[in-house]
Chain A
Amino acid sequence: MFLERSERWQAVAFTAILIAAIAGLYATTLMLQPAPVTPSVVHSATLDVRGASWTIQYRPETTTNNTAFDLLREASVRLGFPLGYVPYAIPKGIFVTSINGTTNGDGGSYWQYWVNGMYGTVAADHAVLHDGDAVLWTFSVPQEG
């Protein structure tokens, strides 16, 4: 036998403590995850994308893509420009890596977004839009959020 009786009890006790610790820690990490965004219809939202030497404008009358990222993705499909992004599971969120061929890191600049002039402090797919919101994506040197 590989485990003696006392070893078995130790194994059971250790496993129980370990499962409790993992469950507690997992519950804490879940609480830190951003709340999922509920889809809704948004009117008159605007999107401006400013690359190093080009700009894109998108003005849908209505959209159900009610986050800063989803509006950008909708524009990329409608206007036909490439969009690169990486989805992260933990912490949950989308990281935009390239827009219209301009890729993060070129010249030390990165894609960042603002909503109504406010710098984005959450992942763009968790930045909820409302009627008339103005979304701006710029390719610029990072700043503190």
Chain B
Amino acid sequence: MMPRGWRAAVDAGLGDNRTRILGVFLILLAILGTYVMRAYANIETVFVASLLAGSLLGRWWTVLVPLSALAVLQPLEWGMTYRGYMVGAMAGITFFVVSGYVFVGVLGRRLRPRVLFRVKSVALLTTISVPLTIAYDLWTATGEWTFLTRPLGVPFATMLEAQVPFTLYHLLSSLIFVPLFGTAFLFLHAYGWPTRNPEEATSRPLGRG
């Protein structure tokens, strides 16, 4: 029957209840964290949420978390930072931003088999977040140059030079938020939520889809 097959696909894609709760938490973390920190350039939580969605939850959450968060945050960005720019320019920049975060999620998914509630896992996620943050910033700077500053005659080298302090802020954001929320979500992923008696909780992570 078609409906049953469709429902089974959704169930398989979203995982069990705990996975769904964590997925929604990650979306809320991405939206609320970034919104609260909006006065601080590049201090944001979409990056950590995307990385954790891929590495902890996998399945559809790998793309669902960044896409859902950006579906809320990007229109806010359009109405504030990029207010008045041509639709084509905004769409182009949005493509670079969305694809950048989806790439973060997909790369997080590649780490999945090695991610457990261990110090090494948090260290691995934190370490990988550094080159990933730089790669993401290079990618989105390319997008901004292509659609915003190149038409004004700004050389790409100038764009990259101007990007340096913002990438430092972004690295600061990743170094704070990845271990902080990584530890919290690894714990919730491994031991469940709410935590019962630790002796009763399994030390094995959830099944991976």
A positions within 8 Å CB-CB of B: 1-3, 7, 10-11, 14, 18, 21-22, 25-26, 28-29, 32, 86-91, 103-108, 110, 142-144
Which has the most chain A C-beta neighbours within 10 Å: B117, B120, B123, B198? B123
B positions within 8 Å CB-CB of A: 39-43, 80, 83-86, 117-120, 122-123, 126, 149, 152-154, 158, 165-166, 168-169, 171-172, 175-176, 179, 198
Known contacts A91-B165, A108-B86; A22 and B176 CB within 8 A of each other: yes
A-B contact count (CB 8 A): 72
- A103 to B169: give the CA distance in the assembly, Å: 28
User: A89–B40 contact, CB under 8 A?
Assistant: yes
User: A89–B171 contact, CB under 8 A?
Assistant: no
Within 8 Å by CB of A90, from B40, B117, B154, lies: B40
User: A105–B152 contact, CB under 8 A?
Assistant: no
Q: Output the least CB separation between A12 and chain B (Å).
A: 9
Known contacts A2-B198, A90-B169; A104 and B154 CB within 8 A of each other: no
The residues of B that contact A1 with a CB separation of less than 8 Å are 198
B183 nearest CB neighbor, chain A only = A11
Complex A-B, nearest 8 residue pairs according to Cβ-Cβ distance, in ascending order: A105-B84, A10-B119, A105-B83, A90-B40, A32-B165, A89-B39, A11-B119, A25-B172
Q: Output the least CB separation between B150 and chain A (Å).
A: 11
Provide 14 A-B residue pairs closer than 8 Å at the C-beta atoms, listed in order of the A residue.
A14-B122, A14-B123, A18-B175, A22-B172, A28-B168, A29-B168, A29-B169, A87-B39, A90-B169, A91-B166, A105-B85, A108-B85, A144-B152, A144-B158
User: B83–A32 contact, CB under 8 A?
Assistant: no
- A94 to B169: give the CA distance in the assembly, Å: 18
Q: Output the least CB separation between A21 and chain B (Å).
A: 6
- A113 to B40: give the CA distance in the assembly, Å: 23
The residues of B that contact A107 with a CB separation of less than 8 Å are 84
Q: Output the least CB separation between A30 and chain B (Å).
A: 10
The residues of B that contact A110 with a CB separation of less than 8 Å are 84
Known contacts A25-B172, A105-B84; A7 and B118 CB within 8 A of each other: yes
Q: Output the least CB separation between A92 and chain B (Å).
A: 10
User: B41–A88 contact, CB under 8 A?
Assistant: yes
